[in-house]
Structure 1
Amino acid sequence: MSRPNYTEKPRAAPIFKPPPTPASFNPIPSSSPAFGTPVHPIRPFNPTTAAVKASILPVLLPPATLRPLAFRTFTKKHSLTLTSSALKVLATFIGRHCGTEWREEGLAEKVLEEVAKGWKSRNGGVIVEGEGNDLKDILKNLEGSMNGGRIVGSRELSRQNSLVLGSSQNGEVSHTRSGLRPNPLGREDSQSSLGLSALEVEDEDDDDGLGDLRKWLKVVGAFDQPRLLYNVGKKHFDRDASIPSLLPLPAHKTQVFRNRYNLIHQRLLRNESFQAPTFETSNGATLKRSTSSLATTQQSYKLTPIANLLGRNGSNHMLLGLLTISPSGTLAINDLTGSIALDLTHAKPIPDDGAWFAPGMIVLVDGTYEEDDNNVGLGGTGGVGGTIGGKFIGFFIGGPPCERRTVTLGVSSKNGEGDITAGGGFGWVDFLGVGSERAVGPKMRKIEQRLIGKPVGHEGPGGRGRIVVIGEVNLDQPRTLQALKKLLGLYAAESEDDTPMTFVLMGNFVQYAVMARGGSGGSIEYKEYFDGLASTLSDYPTLLQSATFIFVPGDNDGWASSFSAGAATPLPRKAVPELFTTRIKRAFATANAEAEKERGKKTDGEAIWTSNPSRITLFGPLHEMVLFRDNMSGRLRRTAVKFSSSKPSEEDEDVDMAITPTAEPDSEPVDVEMDPEVRAAESHAAEQNAQEDILSSDLHAARKLVKTILDQGYLTPFGMAIRPVLWDYASALQVYPLPTAMVLADTEAPAFCVTYEGCHVMNPGSVVAPGRRGVAKWVEYDIQNKVGKVREALF
């Protein structure tokens, strides 16, 4: 019997050995914790493997290709500014030593990281220049530590850099700006997420082909937008990684309301009225009547979860929740912790008759909790997550205060023309896939100023920088085509250089749902209507050659109306199928071919059929316009809650709600501009008082509608039974951050142009003015001044 040899190193059983690493394993960790992508561990470095794979194939790496990765490493992570010369030197070095695998294996990212640390260790300053010897010395030392494109002595280099970065020459600890830097963006689609490759942002001047405004215009459909969800733990937006479906799981419906609540809740907590002061006050944290002694005292309000009302009978609280109709048919309010019956018998809306409050909206309610006598001591009927016993008697009800776009994105200056503030905001988030404010905003502002900038004191129309919005284009009505001919003829008479950049035509394109046999037609007749529109557009070839026509469908358009018969269809809805629009596209192709043949100049006028809703972006994130077609005012009137105390009384004149920053829009609507023919044809003998009453009533209705939608931050603040929504695409209905402009095409509301919290909202109404014979009406939006006006003309 042989004796065991205890000098040999014991070996583990095969079952305890780690599984082999697959060949497709990604050795680079995810650089997008903000978007929730999985973080993979780094595969341990094996010098023997690196020695076998030492041969590389050098490549010629363009600086523009390396720019997004270098920007993320130097500027975003290390707060350094990289010049063009330094970028060129780094691109040459990485292409020579990392070869074809600089991106796939993540070799370039490690090289840039070590160079940035080495530059900081030399105290090279904020700007990294390529002309001096500092950068060349760093690359020379790094070259001796590389083998096969990999940094062999990375541990030693990192240790040296960390020792140098921990202290400065004066012995003071140097602090990075990590606290001000958001989570890194993902490596996958990094260029598109920053908006650099899509917008073709370069340091050099743009060529002549990018001098046209339409080159910077992009239409983003609802189904093409990034699906983002607000992460409460990270206080950031995550990209929804699930595959969208028209028949999702029931849990996705709950996620729609949860995401809406979380967005409004975080927006509310950043409001000054909900931030506790640094000193304590003797005033309560509820809505009280303001007196002369309390008017100047700063108050902070505190939200109470519904579950925390248990056992607090007779106490005053402020709730933030979703208005719903309970199974018993009574009004209730829900939040993430529970639900409670709501009594609004004595409630007063804030502002008085200034907004709508309907089931499906998230509201603020200030009042008193009253326990149910039958459940005293039992803590209600459901506890946390269920229905709380008793009822909440509301005294005041209001919408959550809106937040300006500059505050949401963290832009410091007044009109959004400055740097990103250090106090927060979502400036790094790319909400529409065209680039974030922090990544491409400054560059886009320079291009915008060069293309559409005006001399100081110039107040005229924008010329080329205009967007014409035409609403309710019923092609089955002959008067509609007559109004279109008059409208297009006015712009065709202008010089080609002053032609509006974009024409937006919004549905319904038929008055009745002909796809569902509404009226007397079907799919064949539906196509003939668009053929008639193509014939009308062909009469104005100059507009087709130099403008972009955008078509937004309505509820009566195909294919959705074929099963809804014109009723409310689920939102968002897709564009009109290409089957019906081939003749219009052919008209644009013919006009462009004629221009190239006659003048030898190639034009690129086009027709874009988009979804409802959709968005227009100009110069990346600088200009965002929401296009939405829906008769929302009528739906609000049918479903809104009526208050018995809506009229102000002498006793309640001093009631104030400090959480509402602006009770009314911050600018008057733009006056209606009419052609001289209209003014000559109309009679001016009507009473002036009657006209003022009508304008005042229309203005009030417009402000009420605009405040309701923008405060909710959602295009369809109704229950699913009132306005269906595709659950997996509900993020496309979010109005957060606020756009620079919005088109709410509502034929049941008067035409208006109103600005509220920096967002200019327009309603073109119907192209054929109702109740006025032979009058065409539309809206013209000036991009430079960010203001629109309602125009009219006789036809």
Structure 2
Amino acid sequence: MSTPRRPGGPHALSENPIPSSSPAFGTPLHPIIPPRRTLPSRPPPALKTATKSTVLPILLPPATLRPLAFRTFTKKHNLTLTSSALQALATFIGRHCGSGWREEGLAEKVLEEVAKSWKKSSGQVIVEGDGDLLKNILKLLEGSMSGGRITSGSNLSRQTSFNFPGDASAADAGQRPGLDTVNSFGISKLEVEDPEDEDDLLKDPREWLKVIGAFDQPKLVYNTSHKHFDKSPTKPTLFPPPSHKTEAFRQRYHLVHQRILRNETFQTPTFSTTRSSTLNRSSSHSTTQTNTITPIANLLGRSGSTHLLLGMLTISPTGTLTLSDLTGTISLDLQHARPIPEIGAYFTPGMIVLVDGTYDEDYSNATSGSISTLTGNGGIGGTIGGKFIGFSVGHPPCERRSTTLGTSSSTEKLAGPAFGWTDFLGVGSQRATGARMSRISSRLLSPDQAHNIVIASDLHLDKPSTLSALRTLLKTYTPDPKSATPIYPLAIILNGPFNSTPVLSSLPGAGSVDYKSHFDSLASLLSDFQDLIAHTTLVFVPGDNDAWPSAFSAGASTAVPRKGVPGLFTTRVERVVKEANREIWGSGGRKGGREGEVVWATNPCRLSWFGVVGEMVVMRDEMVGRLRRNGVRFNKQQEDEEMETERDAGDAAMDLDAPPPPPPVRDENSDVDADTATARAITRTIISQAHLSPFPMSVRPFHWDHAHTLSLYPLPTALVLADSEAPAFVVKYNGCTVINPASIDESGGRGAREGRARWVEFEVGKGVGRVRVEG
């Protein structure tokens, strides 16, 4: 398409070199003001050299420059150009390089210098053309060009910083201009540019430890059209409209569905001949149907055929177990169904599962089993007549954290795009800050030293035996004064409930006074370990018996996430920590490290270290009891050779995790104890569901607009399920370390063994944990 000539002579190009109303890049309607030329301070004779190499400006369309800019910025420097930036670069190159921009390679050198200067002056990966940063870079580059070429000795990438006009405040604050302008693409807020220049921040690993509350976590919405995450256009609130409740379940289904479709078992083979030959060599169990998920609405008219469904287990108003997806609902007949694995996972209503079976359409009743009798709009979203006879039920295959973020778990190198550009927690994305943070963590986390996070649960402050157990824990991590290099834990996570009974459900006023006195007793205990609390971070996670939920729930399950313990009760504990810092570090504070601090976290909450290098999710909940009470029971069948063969075929079709862990218990003669079986079952269930509360709203309510805080996608490095009904364990599954510290009072309140404590010690550098019992 030819560009129309502009009237006004040759000098009209300076008014608006690029015509507006471009549909591809949305060029501005206002004229682009050309950059000012910096006049040299020498006498006029020095200007003769510039007249020898005059460049005739041309009109360079942005679309023509796009391939070269893509190779330079994206392929070589891992930067992304916006349409406004591409337009500004095309205008600059067309004016200063002329017709030799392609043949003589002038544009490539200009783009190279601009990309290097951008990376030096900003940590952003998105090159914006609307801000002042790119304009200032082009102004500086313009003074170093002669005849379309960059003069020697003016390499902008060698400069350490730019003192641009208007950026003095940012330079004084130690920040790069525009560092926090783009958050949805995972730009780091850690304000670190080069490890060698950040000596103060590299002395203490606790400088890189951050506690993220549930109400501070950014809300991302999965875009099914573009297959990526978008920032939520609305701010989360505790009083959302009813439509947000439906959207919370839809988002959860979309995350599981896209995760399954990216699994290799559901990938369609490239050549049909390979597919046919594979099916001919396979067993009688058809793998064609297991590789394709059928929407429930598509079962109409296909009675007697075998399908694989993905949906949420629900209970209909009539008490029938049903399966629902985004297209409809159908009743389930699991009389002959077998769970995958046989023993080692829980299945409850509210979970998203895979069901393999046959559709049985009911033709006997004129009011069901046909298209005309569906409830809803043509069957979409309604209940389909008939039933689905399930053969096997299994959890969806989980996905490793490295696969989701596009990294390799061994070398932390980029393995693919995936969601590496997404900033899930507001601490930076893997593609933007992962390599830099990995270098810093390897420098600080020495393999010869143990950098631990201590986790304890059921800290009942109203019981003297619990306070004795806590004293045992704190003594264990109090170093010897004669030690040359004492090692302190990075953080000590103390889970509630901080009272053994619902503290605010008794007489009005009496409970709050007792509750505050219990924290005063905790403050007195902490004051005996000033050296420890001045070197670590204390994190308190509340339970169901704490304020304020116990005031109206009487200890029953309340909506999650919930806020931390109110500051009305915790003032003395914070005062003790401040006095310890002043006693150890003096009035000037600690130099080259972080002082001791106390964080009253939400439930659940997250801890991140070194940005995206590590993430720990902490949830205080009675998970095992809820799974057992609401679990679906499957009929037992006799274990003969025929059943074993059928079950093995079902395992091959449904157990999609590679390599799958062995079931916790295979038969009565298995040597696996009951505690280990419970640990493996709850781990496999929660990790496969990738959700902290896979239950109906009637069983475990949650705030609709904050449902994203319960998601475990991508999988964290460690997951803490503080459950008093489950045994203490540490299990690693698909790269995620699942931890349950059980009760800190290992003696169970018995005076004969008072002071015996139990907790879990998680080593950040190696990603492993162990259960410790002392006293």
Provide Cα deviations, 1:25-77, integer angstroms capped at 9, x if missing partner.
xxx99xxxxxxxxx995541236xx59x9899xxxxxxxxxxxxxxxx98995
Provide Cα deviations, 1:100-139, integer angstroms capped at 9, x if missing partner.
xxxxx99988656767998995475899469999x9xxxx
Say if 2:355 is the partner of 1:362. Answer: no
Cα 1:543/1:379, change in 2 over 3 Å: same
Provide Cα deviations, 1:221-278, integer angstroms capped at 9, x if missing partner.
1111110111110100111111222121111110111001000000000111111122
Return the offset for 1:668: 12
Structure 2: how far apart are the matches of 1:476 and 1:538? 18
Find 1:706's aligned residue among 683, 687, 708.
683
Find 1:466's aligned residue among 452, 455, 479.
452
Say if 2:591 is the partner of 1:591. Answer: no
Provide Cα deviations, 1:448-502, integer angstroms capped at 9, x if missing partner.
1111132xxx6xxx43x11000111000111011011111011103546311111
1:215 maps to what in 2? 207
Return the offset for 1:208: 2.6
Cα 1:757/1:314, change in 2 over 3 Å: same
Return the offset for 1:279: 3.5
Contact 2:310 2:325 in 1 (8 A): yes
Say if 2:190 is the partner of 1:198. Answer: yes
Cα 1:310/1:274, change in 2 over 3 Å: same
1:508 maps to what in 2? 497
Q: What count of residue pairs does the alignment treat as equivalent?
A: 643
1:621 maps to what in 2? 612
Find 1:493's aligned residue among 475, 479, 484.
479
Say if 2:692 is the partner of 1:715. Answer: yes
Return the offset for 1:651: 2.1
Return the offset for 1:598: 9.9
Cα 1:452/1:187, change in 2 over 3 Å: closer
2:44 maps to what in 1? none
Structure 1: how far apart are the matches of 2:317 and 2:573? 50
Unaligned ranges ≥5, structure 2: 1-19, 39-68, 120-128, 140-147, 149-177
Provide Cα deviations, 1:416-475, integer angstroms capped at 9, x if missing partner.
x332223x4100000000000000000011101111132xxx6xxx43x11000111000
2:236 maps to what in 1? 244
Provide Cα deviations, 1:380-409, integer angstroms capped at 9, x if missing partner.
422222110001010100000111111111
Return the offset for 1:600: 8.4
Say if 2:438 is the partner of 1:445. Answer: yes
Structure 2: how far apart are the matches of 1:126 and 1:661? 50
1:265 maps to what in 2? 257
Cα 1:282/1:437, change in 2 over 3 Å: closer
Return the offset for 1:650: 3.2
**Partner SS, residue 500 of structure 1:** coil
Say if 2:632 is the partner of 1:641. Answer: yes
Say if 2:29 is the partner of 1:44. Answer: yes
1:301 maps to what in 2? 291
Say if 2:396 is the partner of 1:400. Answer: yes
Find 1:421's aligned residue among 405, 415, 420.
415
Return the offset for 1:667: 9.9
**Partner SS, residue 309 of structure 2:** strand
Structure 2: how far apart are the matches of 1:652 and 1:429? 46
Unaligned ranges ≥5, structure 1: 1-27, 30-38, 57-72, 84-104, 136-141, 153-160, 162-185, 670-689
Provide Cα deviations, 1:549-600, integer angstroms capped at 9, x if missing partner.
1111111111111111111010100011111111111011101111124998
* Aligned residues with identical type, % of pairs: 46
Contact 1:407 1:425 in 2 (8 A): yes
**Structure 1 counterpart of 2:610, one-letter code:** F
Structure 2: how far apart are the matches of 1:147 and 1:81? 16
Aligned 1:650-661 pairs, distance under 5 A: 650-654=641-645, 655=647, 656=649, 657-658=651-652, 659-661=654-656
Aligned 1:775-794 pairs, distance under 5 A: 775-794=756-775
Cα 1:293/1:639, change in 2 over 3 Å: closer
Provide Cα deviations, 1:202-233, integer angstroms capped at 9, x if missing partner.
36432134320000011111111110111110
**Partner SS, residue 218 of structure 1:** strand
Cα 1:45/1:559, change in 2 over 3 Å: same
Cα 1:506/1:666, change in 2 over 3 Å: same
**Structure 2 counterpart of 1:388, one-letter code:** I
2:601 maps to what in 1? 610
**Partner SS, residue 432 of structure 1:** coil
Return the offset for 1:520: 10
Find 2:301's aligned residue among 311, 323, 328.
311
Find 2:707's aligned residue among 730, 733, 739.
730
Structure 1: how far apart are the matches of 2:115 and 2:291? 57
**Structure 2 counterpart of 1:474, one-letter code:** H
Return the offset for 1:81: 2.8
Find 1:475's aligned residue among 461, 485, 493.
461
**Structure 2 counterpart of 1:499, one-letter code:** Y
Say if 2:623 is the partner of 1:632. Answer: yes
**Partner SS, residue 450 of structure 1:** helix
**Partner SS, residue 446 of structure 1:** helix
Cα 1:663/1:350, change in 2 over 3 Å: farther
Structure 2: how far apart are the matches of 1:211 and 1:358? 48
Report the more deviating stretch, 112-121 or 232-241. 112-121
Say if 2:265 is the partner of 1:277. Answer: no
Contact 1:78 1:116 in 2 (8 A): no
**Structure 2 counterpart of 1:580, one-letter code:** F
Structure 2: how far apart are the matches of 1:132 and 1:568? 55
Structure 2: how far apart are the matches of 1:274 and 1:762? 31
Contact 1:285 1:302 in 2 (8 A): no
Structure 2: how far apart are the matches of 1:208 and 1:623? 21
Cα 1:445/1:325, change in 2 over 3 Å: same
Cα 1:188/1:648, change in 2 over 3 Å: farther
Provide Cα deviations, 1:735-782, integer angstroms capped at 9, x if missing partner.
000001111000000000000000000000000126574321000001
Structure 1: how far apart are the matches of 2:321 and 2:560? 26
**Structure 2 counterpart of 1:726, one-letter code:** H
Cα 1:207/1:238, change in 2 over 3 Å: same
Report the more deviating stretch, 545-554 or 770-779. 770-779
**Partner SS, residue 196 of structure 1:** coil
1:674 maps to what in 2? none
**Partner SS, residue 557 of structure 1:** coil
Return the offset for 1:337: 0.4
Structure 2: how far apart are the matches of 1:113 and 1:593? 58
**Structure 2 counterpart of 1:301, one-letter code:** N
Aligned 1:136-151 pairs, distance under 5 A: none
Provide Cα deviations, 1:273-326, integer angstroms capped at 9, x if missing partner.
11112244799999x9x9986799999611100000011111111100010000
1:155 maps to what in 2? none
Structure 2: how far apart are the matches of 1:605 and 1:556? 27
Contact 2:72 2:111 in 1 (8 A): no
Return the offset for 1:519: 12
Return the offset for 1:377: 4.5
Say if 2:749 is the partner of 1:756. Answer: no
1:432 maps to what in 2? 425
Structure 2: how far apart are the matches of 1:667 and 1:542? 45
1:164 maps to what in 2? none
**Structure 1 counterpart of 2:386, one-letter code:** G
Provide Cα deviations, 1:173-229, integer angstroms capped at 9, x if missing partner.
xxxxxxxxxxxxx99731685343334333643213432000001111111111011
**What RMSD over aligned residues (CA atoms) do the two structures have, in Å?**
4.1
Contact 2:188 2:429 in 1 (8 A): no
